[in-house]
Chains A and B, each alone.
Chain A
């Protein structure tokens, strides 16, 4: 399981790596908006996809590696494409006794596929070029205005950080528990639904118990190292917004959102 998590940070020193994390977070946000904005044409989506792939190339994390990650989502792509093609009403191209395939359906199928691709490679780009610490730092900084509303931004950043730290560990522990329960005859993937739901408890309860113990232990460990609950992740001088960031953001916003604005008018 180790190393298999797609989108894991790849250590590097490209111009993309060196960008301020806040730029990259905002960029990812722009990508998401561009991906979900309704009514976009195929050429625009293809352009966006190409643009992101170009950035991936510039970041030297490996275009092939990212694209290969798309394979893990192939079931999702297939399912949504099929749904769009067969369930969209419109000018029908073929018709087999009730099941119609419309021109609009095919068009929608393709655009949905492209949107999903953009979402995936866009977020992969973020996580592969930004270490978890920088992500947390950037996020905390961007959310810091919420401090005025007494929103616990520091604690939120801590939660995100600890989750990132433990997700792989918990996945491993889940695999171990499943193994142990299977060795006592638990069946996770066959049998009546009611039984399978009960069997899921055999995984969830031990995981929960382990997590609660973990929380107690972590609190002690953090207290032992003088954590008092209000430390910030933002390190002095660690994030520097330079002119390069300004340009990057400018290009990004223009290219991804221009079609959106054009549509609006």
Chain B
């Protein structure tokens, strides 16, 4: 049974007024436990609206959303869903309000009713996982830390709750490569240790390519493609939507194929792409001779 399942999920903001907006249009998808799902799509594609249905912040205007088998329109279930599905929104460091790192990371745990000794253990564990030294940072004010570190603290506060599903909206936006790496490593470790299901919105598609079992492509509120990477990229390029989404070397492959070269457009890494181009160059070189 999938851990998250939506059927014809439609969401309309401000229905009935002149500001009505259909953010999601009959989206049907299913996410299995333990999967790493990447959500890609441009501006206004409905990504942010979609994930808010997963933890009950929003209810469908029509259609259904089932998390762990239960319908999210049931109010009692929805009120506690945040414990099961943890969402890290964009620029999560902007939600920090406690005076020490420890209290900030412990906030969700306290709301869950956990006791102090266990909270202490969890906080220490998650800080180490995310790449910080608890001894150094736990008693410091989050606002005295650098931007990247604050991001790590904010993400740690959700991960500490060990949700069954971890949803992240552009977790590495604005970070440099080292900050980015820390966070991606922590996510992967969490997936390994606790079989967490991970749903990640990202426009760094190359990041998703290495990790995602499944990709979901949204455009203007509609789900246009859902499947493994090759299927989805094939759809994107065959519909000429790839300009902004695909990594450069993949775009290159498709461009070359359109131009007439015989290349494998299903390459999954830079090295493979290099091999393909190398082959073309050799052939054309030979032809010149």
Q: What residues of chain B lie closer than 8 Å to A184, measured between beta carbons? A: 82, 107-108, 111, 157-158, 161
* Count: A-B pairs, CB below 8 Å: 57
- Contact yes or no, A206 B111, CB < 8 A: no
Interface size class of A (residues with CB under 8 A): 20 to 34
Contact segment of B88-96, B122-130, B170-178: B88-96
Q: Which of B19, B87, B96, B111 contacts A186 (CB 8 A)?
A: B111
**With A4-B14, A206-B94, A206-B95 in contact, is A183–B111 under 8 Å at CB?**
no
Q: What residues of chain A lie closer than 8 Å to B82, measured between beta carbons? A: 182-185
CB closest chain-B residue, reference A177: B95
- A205 sits at the interface (CB 8 A): yes
- A209 sits at the interface (CB 8 A): yes
**With A180-B95, A201-B97, A206-B94 in contact, is A185–B112 under 8 Å at CB?**
yes
Q: What residues of chain A lie closer than 8 Å to B19, measured between beta carbons? A: 2-4
- A47 sits at the interface (CB 8 A): no
Residues of B134-173 whose CB lies within 8 A of A: 143, 157-158, 161
**With A184-B82, A206-B95, A210-B94 in contact, is A176–B89 under 8 Å at CB?**
yes
How many angstroms between the C-alpha atoms of A202 and B98 in the bound complex? 8
Q: What residues of chain B lie closer than 8 Å to A3, measured between beta carbons? A: 19
- A179 sits at the interface (CB 8 A): yes
Q: Shortest CB–CB separation between residue B42 and chain A, in angstroms? A: 19
9 additional A-B pairs beyond A3-B19, A209-B143, beta carbons within 8 Å, are A4-B14, A177-B95, A179-B52, A183-B55, A184-B158, A202-B107, A205-B97, A206-B94, A206-B96
20 contacts between A and B (CB under 8 A): A3-B19, A176-B89, A177-B94, A177-B95, A179-B57, A179-B89, A182-B57, A182-B82, A183-B57, A183-B87, A183-B89, A183-B158, A184-B82, A184-B111, A185-B82, A202-B95, A202-B107, A206-B94, A209-B94, A210-B94
Taking beta carbons and an 8 Å cutoff, which residues of B are in contact with A? 14, 17, 19, 52, 55, 57, 82-83, 86-87, 89, 92, 94-97, 107-108, 111-112, 143, 157-158, 161
